[in-house]
Amino acid sequence: MNLLPINRLGARETAPNHLEFGLFLPWVSAQDGYELSVKVIHEADQFLQDIPPLVFPLTHSVDPQYGDYWSGQADLSQQTPPHPRSAWGQPGRYVYRYMLRRPNAEAIDWIIDPFAREFGVGKLSAITIGYQDHQWSDAESSWKTPKLEDLVFYELMLSEFARDIDGAIQALDYLADLGINCLEVMPVSNVALSVDWGFLPIGYFGVDERFGKRRDLLRLIDAAHQRGIAVILDAVYGHTSELFAYEYVYRRLGYRENPVMGPFAKDYFGVSTDWRREFTRDFFYTVNLYWLDHCHVDGFRYDCVPNYWDGATGQGYANLVYATYQAVRQRQGAEDHLMRFFDGSGGVNLIQCAEQLEAPQEILTSTYSNCTWQNDTLGAAQGVASGGDGDAMTNTLTSLGMRFGLMGYPTVATHNGDTLPKTALQYIENHDHARFVCNFRTTVNGHEAFNDLFREGDRSQWYKVQPYLIGLLTAKGIPLLWQGQEFGENYWLPDAGMGRVALLRPVRWDYFYDDIGKATVGLVRSLLRLRRQRAEFRRGDHFFYNDPSRYQSHGVLLFSRQLDGAFSLVALNFSDEDQTIPFSFPRSGDYREELHGLDNLSGMTAGAQVWLRVPSNYGRIWSI
């Protein structure tokens, strides 16, 4: 893959008040009668009926690699303002769009710049005159992306978590104190709607204006790094909005072929990108390197991988993560900000996380992805929560015990001589699913009863979630918390429909202060502190005590984490009654109960059977 010449693309201020524009538009040439122009207006003027945008023509040329290229310029100081009240020529943001005139047909207006670094309202690109890039803190030069085994993810959507980027920055101290060291930020790319999850992108090189400005996001990343928190972004490369320029223009032109878009793999969602096209591959590779190099992100969560998965040696996903890894690896020793990925151990700590729910093990064994989402643990947990007696409960608990240990997942893999650590994420909540408490009971309040979208999980059932949280945060793999999960957020989410993505569900921070919130966040803090202090929970062996007659049939699940001389036993009770179970510790000595310091065990003899009490809907952790 090759980098596009980003310095020639999009809108750039190349001298004071002097703008230049550049756009690749393959198969659209002046020789065929096409004329491309850009409409520009000061942001303060855009809603005033007497002030029209100024129009500047673009000139066509041919790039030796990518073909038809259109470019032009606008000198703001040399143009007469379109109206005496216009802000034209003044500092600030200018919004713009392209328009394509074609022979014998209506002009195609409202073409959004696919290379814009900023965005205005809705379908407008933007550029700030006199823009000053973020000045990175001195601490940024010494920042190191955490190793895979040490990561604790926190998934958030900026508008729901804290309204905007500034709010998220204010919450960083809280997240660091909680024990989080990696933010997984849902898409920041430009979309058409004001309330949206962001999975139908229009622009890829900037942050949507509903969250803030481009420099704001850099401030967030810098501030997060100063607090020991990595930042990865949700990357949506397998599909786009129908308003994405390379879909919108060629569909309006009626072309049978498209230089970027088209059916490729599974085509599940949105308008698919065609990774057989060189321009498509280079476009998204350039997006990756822009965010890594210019914006200092620590990696990506690649959304909906099946949309561009054509195998381990294909042109799509596997090719992208390989090229991205190699681009970073080749910078080793360069003494620049990409040194954040190198810790002296020989590895590359770039986070490349796949959302490949159909074949999560395969994506780890066959590509340069070093971690992946997987729904198996969540599915097993939902099975336990659904209840059942006898064999049904025993089987679901057995499944959950195996999922907590990531059985069948690789821990390391070698590709082309590069050896990478591998793991999967562990979660019981994320943006795609209703809050876990909804599995026990949901309620609808008063006048909202007519609308199913307003259902919520019954927080009086919060205690039933506790053993799942204990298991999640002590299990093998990377734990992920979804915004507000740590204090009992309880939104319900439909499985399908626009109600999933078009309804804002802001985190209810007042939950933090009520009894349920305080109890839940206290538990999460204790577990993350334990994970941080005891290495066996981060990189130790996992052993599941699969003994249905002793454990699962009583609603109990046992597993241990072990590393060198450290050993911890995790006992989880999913039943509504306290359980007393037999166990033989493998080592002699004194065992501390880690959650509350209760039920400490002194003078244990290796191999001798003891009886352990595990509280209902809770757990115990004994360590030596």
Whether residue 286 lies inside any domain: the answer is yes
Q: Strands, E, within 444-534: which ranges?
A: 456-457, 478-482
Helix 391-404 / helix 376-385 crossing angle, nearest 10 deg:
150
Q: For residue 343, what pLDDT is reported?
A: 87
- Cβ proximity of 272 and 263 under 8 Å: yes
- Is residue 123 domain-shared with residue 266, that is, in the same domain? no
- Is residue 103 domain-shared with residue 193, that is, in the same domain? no
Q: Hey, what amino acid is at 559? A: F
- How are beta strands 371-372 and 351-354 bridged, if at all? parallel
Whether residue 473 lies inside any domain: the answer is no
CATH number at residue 26: 2.60.40.10
- Is residue 306 domain-shared with residue 183, that is, in the same domain? yes
- Is residue 51 domain-shared with residue 166, that is, in the same domain? no
Q: For residue 269, what pLDDT is reported?
A: 87
Listed in sequence order, the residues at least 6 apart from 275 whose beta carbon sits closer than 8 Å to its beta carbon are: 264, 265, 281, 308, 310, 314, 315, 316, 317, 319
Q: Strands, E, within 1-124: which ranges?
A: 10-15, 18-24, 35-42, 54-57, 59-63, 67-75, 92-102, 105-111, 118-119
Residue that finishes a domain, picked among 323, 352, 373: 373
Residue that finishes a domain, picked among 110, 129, 148: 129
Q: Beta-carbon neighbour count of residue 149 at 10 Å?
A: 16
Q: Beta-carbon neighbour count of residue 462 at 10 Å?
A: 21
- Is residue 38 domain-shared with residue 80, that is, in the same domain? yes
Whether residue 505 lies inside any domain: the answer is no
C-alpha–C-alpha distance, residues 232 and 152, integer Å:
12
- How are beta strands 423-426 and 418-421 bridged, if at all? unpaired
- Is residue 183 domain-shared with residue 296, that is, in the same domain? yes
- Is residue 101 domain-shared with residue 199, that is, in the same domain? no
Token pair 């997240």: residue: 175
- Cβ proximity of 290 and 6 under 8 Å: yes
- Is residue 190 domain-shared with residue 231, that is, in the same domain? yes
- Is residue 119 domain-shared with residue 268, that is, in the same domain? no
Range of the structural domain that residue 613 is part of: 539-623
Cα dihedral value 324, 328, 329, 335, nearest 10: 170
- Is residue 246 domain-shared with residue 368, that is, in the same domain? yes
- Is residue 328 domain-shared with residue 181, that is, in the same domain? yes
Q: What is the pTM of this model?
A: 0.96
CATH number at residue 588: 2.60.40.1180
Query: Which residues of the chain fall short of a pLDDT of 70?
Result: 446-450
The tally of domains found in the chain comes to 3
Token pair 């990189």: residue: 539
CATH number at residue 248: 3.20.20.80
Whether residue 75 lies inside any domain: the answer is yes
Residue that finishes a domain, picked among 332, 354, 373: 373
Whether residue 616 lies inside any domain: the answer is yes
- Is residue 221 domain-shared with residue 285, that is, in the same domain? yes
Two tokens, residue 394: 């025993």
Whether residue 186 lies inside any domain: the answer is yes
Whether residue 79 lies inside any domain: the answer is yes
